[in-house]
A and B are shown apart, each in its own frame.
Chain A
Amino acid sequence: MNHVRQISKVVSLKEALSHIKRGTSLMYGGFGGIGSPPSIIEALLQMKVSQLDLIGNDAGFPNIGIGRLISEGRARSLLTSHIGSNPNAGRLMTENKLDVTFFPQGTLAEKIRAGGMGLGGILVDVGLGTMAEEGREKVEIQNKTYLIEEALTAEVAIVYAKQADEYGNLVFDKSARNFNPLVAMAADVTIVEAEQIVPNGELDPENIVTPGVFVDYIVQSEGVNWQWMWE
């Protein structure tokens, strides 16, 4: 190859996480902890960062994924679809220490995608006739009723990828993809924890899921440091 781009976004965990402070709005990838970035979450625990406004699919498990931060009381709010697998989240919500807002899972995913794609929101009919329509504006299009759901963005997103090149092109791993490519697009600062970091040009452009333009920082993963429920 006669023209290898030298651009590299690979940094230390410390440098990347300097963007996350008390009160930061933080989107995270992961579904029941699968695909949540373990080394970043561990570092956030060490940093004692608190009052986070979290946005993500679920509350993880008490000692798995984003659940580790929630269990430690590091979040003040959570936009999500499910907290049933983390009883600590339910307890903090009941004690009014965690402000939880629920959305149907597909709607939440699409709201984040809309934020990442530069749209103002989406029209969706999922949740009509349920609590999910409360407080939502409605609109009629071609004789069908839809809820207006605003797009979501955040200050920082934390992402787990199987492979990243130094520019930030990303490839994910099976069911660890879930919300990762969505939150990667929707934040002002996107921090990726990659299992493997490769030189630019190593990944097949045809197979890249998230283009590097969305990525600001890449850190090397130290691997999952929690025990799965099935282990």
Chain B
Amino acid sequence: MDVGVDYRRVIAEWAAKEIKPGMHVNLGIGMPTLVAGFVPEHYNVMFHAENGILGTGPYPIKGGEDENLCDAGGFPVTAVPGASFFDSTMAFGIIRRGYLDVTILGALQVSEAGDLANWIVPGKRVPGMGGAIDLAQKSKKVIVLMNHTNKSGEAKIVKKCTLPLTAPSCVDVIITERAIIDVINNELHVRRILAPYTMEEVISSTEAELHFS
């Protein structure tokens, strides 16, 4: 797959358009963290980090890092006005109680029912689920950012996940370098095909059935 250096930023920029003023948002590790940079400051979005911060701000200026003020990926952050710190039960109480409007995370597989698999490849890679199950199951809107296919070129958008699930029927939007796809009533509806890809290329790299309206 050769889609140019900036495709991760392109995906992140599309994802940022899903975030509305005043929302509470959790960004997963990796590509999702790029999304914050595309959300206008005047939206006053409160970013939630499951290690115990509501109201994370951008990376501090070089030399201004605080080793005890980091996001869930372990990278230094800042705290915006109105931010709060709390323990891990509070961090997850906020999630379980349904206060997160949007969570943005990566995936190994997504099915046409919106099932998400992103925490284990049995026998190969077993990192553990961390907070992914809580976030995927309890956030109002779940947005997956990922490459359209895996490193071997196999489809990641599948009829049925073959990997163990993180949560069933939880994904609302899939954004890849090839397309933006909405999960609506157990169907995948292509909202937009992203340049330079064609409809044929999107269909042929997707195992699940796609709907075009």
**Chain A residues engaging chain B, CB cutoff 8 angstroms:** 31-35, 57-58, 61, 80-85, 90, 93, 100, 102, 104-107, 109-110, 113, 124-132, 162, 172-182, 209, 224, 228-230
Contact = CB atoms under 8 A, between A and B. Distances in A.
Interface stretch (B20-28, B32-40, B79-87, B204-212): B79-87
A209 B52 CA distance: 14
A139 B28 CA distance: 31
24 contacts: A81-B130, A81-B131, A82-B128, A82-B130, A90-B125, A102-B129, A104-B131, A104-B132, A106-B88, A106-B89, A107-B134, A109-B91, A126-B133, A126-B137, A127-B137, A130-B133, A130-B165, A173-B68, A174-B53, A175-B49, A175-B52, A175-B53, A179-B87, A209-B87
A191 to B, nearest CB: 18
B166 interface: yes
Given A57-B88, A129-B168, A131-B164, A104 B52 contact: no
A34 B127 CA distance: 19
Nearest to B53: A175
Contacts of A125: 137
Interface residues of B, number: 46
Contacts of B126: 83, 90, 93, 100
Contact of A32 (B51, B65, B128, B166): B51
A104 B129 contact: yes
Contacts, number: 147
B88 A178 contact: yes
A175 B127 contact: no
Contacts of A61: 74
A144 B45 CA distance: 32
A174 B68 contact: yes
B113 to A, nearest CB: 11
B50 interface: yes
A230 B68 CA distance: 12
B134 A31 contact: no
Given A83-B126, A126-B133, A127-B133, 18 more contacts: A31-B88, A93-B126, A105-B134, A106-B95, A109-B88, A113-B89, A126-B137, A130-B133, A130-B165, A130-B166, A131-B165, A162-B68, A172-B85, A175-B49, A175-B52, A175-B71, A182-B88, A182-B89
